[in-house]
Amino acid sequence: MKPQTDYLEDIKEIRSIMERSSKFISLNTVSGVFVGIIALIGAAAAYFYSHGYLEIDNLQFNLSNTSIHSLPQLVAFYVVDAVCILTASILVSMWLTIRKARKNSLPIWDITSKRLFINMMIPLSVGGIFCLILIYHELYVLLAPSTLLFYGLALFNSSKYTMKGIKYLGIAEILLGLTSAFFLGLGFFFWVLGFGIVHIVYGIINYFLYEQKSVLK
């Protein structure tokens, strides 16, 4: 008869196999820190670039007071800046995740990662289209709350296929988006807080909760 410790080890192994089959656990928590830093760099670029066109006080970007000639240049810069931030964040996250998956001999693209991708991309795609509609109607003041809300919904929607902390990050982004909708003049501040600082804090916390434990084992 097997000793009790052997049965406990068997149960742990079965639980680990079930978790790997139902959740994408290769997502690197440290990527949150890098995504936050990239967002802060992009926000700094937008802030200093805007000084040539706007009078900015307390992080308030009032595009309604911008001249009709400089407004298209500002909007174009913000769009390019946002695309660069998104592209860099995706590439860094993918590189760190693939690196972790190979280190742990785990699959990168399986049924679970496909479900994670689909559940994240649907809210993000809808949010991206909605933001383009806001730009078309020149409702720039709603861009910061909208990006935070749809990003938070994407994280929350996909959290059931990956680590638990993603759900709480999604809730934090949703709450920041809703709060930002009440303080429209401070949209830039909430954007920096949500995509920059919150991501960095999330990455640091999850590193000590998950990554460091796996390193010490």
Specify if 23 maps to a domain. Answer: no
Residue where the block lists tokens 């800046």: 81
The DSSP bridge partners found for residue 57 are 60
Specify if 41 maps to a domain. Answer: yes
Specify if 198 maps to a domain. Answer: yes
pLDDT(210) > 70? no
Helix (H, G, I), strand (E, B) or coil at 60: strand
pTM comes to 0.76
How many Cβ atoms are within 10 Å of 48's Cβ, its own excluded?
A: 10
Specify if 104 maps to a domain. Answer: yes
How many Cβ atoms are within 10 Å of 188's Cβ, its own excluded?
A: 20
Residue 57 is given by DSSP the state: B
Structurally, the chain folds into a number of domains equal to 1
Q: Domain range holding 193?
A: 29-216
* Per-residue pLDDT at 21: 45
Specify if 180 maps to a domain. Answer: yes
Reported as type and span, the H/E element at residue 161 is none
Specify if 97 maps to a domain. Answer: yes
Specify if 24 maps to a domain. Answer: no
Specify if 79 maps to a domain. Answer: yes
The DSSP bridge partners found for residue 60 are 57
Cα separation, 115 vs 121, in Å, equals 10
The pLDDT tens digits of the residues spanning 73-124 come to 777 888 888 889 988 988 888 888 777 777 766 666 677 778 878 888 899 9
